Every structure is written in C-alpha cells, then in structure tokens.
Amino acid sequence: MKKIGVTGGIGSGKSTVCQYFELKGVPVYYADDRAKVLMISNPKIIEGVEGLFGDEAYNSDGALNRQMIAEKAFYDQSLLTKLNEIVHPVVYSDFDEWCQIHKDQPYIIKEAAIMLEKKDQALDYVIGVIAPVQDRILRILKRDPQRNQSQVQGIMDKQVSDQLIKDKADFVLYNDNETKLLPELNRLHSFFSKL
C-alpha cells in the first residue's frame, strides 16, 4: 500500500481533492479532524494540553476550549510548538493503526495542513494544493462566516507557503477557476492505482 499526502493552506481545496479520491473508493485519513477527536478523547493528549494551558483548556463538559487555546497559541510560536509536540505523535500512531486497517488497498490518502515543513512519516508521494489568495479568502469566509478577512490572512500567513509546496511536493494542483482539476485528479488516481 502506498501512502499519499495531500496538503495546502487553509481554503486551498485540500478537502475537495480528498473528496474526489473518496468517491473513487480510496480511504482518506483527515489528520486535522482526527487530531480534534483525539484532543478530547486521548488521556495522554488531555494531560499534556492541561499541563500546557491549565485547567481552562477544557470546559466542564470535557469539550476543548478551542478559542482560548487558539488565542494563546496563535501569538506564541513556542507554545504552538509544544502543543504540536503533544498532539502530533499521538496522531502519527493513530494514522499507523488506521493504515493497518486499510493495508490491502492499493493506496491511501492522508490529508493534513502540516506535512512539508518536516518530513512526514513514510509518505510515498505528496500532492500540494495551491489556489489564488483571494479565492482562498472568499472560500474561508463563506465556510466560516464568524471569521473576518484579517483573521483569515493571519492564519494564511502562518501556514505553508505556495513556494514551499512548489519546491517540496511531488505533484502540485492549481485549484483556480481556470485549471481543470478533474483531468489532473484522474491522472493521479490512475498513476497511484498502478504502483
């Protein structure tokens, strides 16, 4: 089984690309979504997050206090690094277990925003998704109306750059209104299916 990564900045169209592969019957592991689940269910993560952010890291109902954590970690790179050091190893182990369930598949997809900044665990190929900044902002504002353009730009500024994607991804998909994604996705699916 080959492991294929899909990455890109917020609003670039990672989910759209992954939905295509799901429609083709390819298992997709959404690392960021899975991390959210593990942050409220994995005792090791809960203990680490409480140690880092204090008792207010979780609400009385056990839900993660996302707003407080985001506000603190967004402006403190060392705090964000420590949070990632708590969460990422557990997500990697979870991904390995998930891969065992799907080991008979020709290939699987792992979707994650953080992938190219450091070598991800044993991915055979990485697909980077790029979209024009204004398209990304409009998509995010439509999807998350509680955000404003300044907040979205701040998030984008902290994420993987298009240049890093171009430099390090094995395949680059341009998700704009001019490029036809479907022929590219069909070509990639055919390629990965034959590995």
For residues 164 and 114, what is the distance between their CA atoms, to the nearest angstrom? Answer: 12
As a CATH number, domain 33-101 is 3.40.50.300
Task: Reduce the DSSP state of residue 38 to 3 states and report it.
Answer: helix
The pLDDT value given to residue 115: 85
- Write the class of the CATH domain 1-27+107-195: alpha beta
* Mean pLDDT score of the chain: 93
* Residues making up the binding site: 11-16
The pLDDT value given to residue 121: 62
Place of tokens 């792992």: 110
The pLDDT value given to residue 113: 87
* Residues making up the binding site for ATP: 11-16
Domain with CATH 3.40.50.300 in the chain: 1-27+107-195, 33-101
Backbone angles phi, psi at 59, to 5 degrees: -75, 170
pLDDT < 50 regions, the chain: none
The pLDDT value given to residue 7: 96
For residues 121 and 82, what is the distance between their CA atoms, to the nearest angstrom? Answer: 19
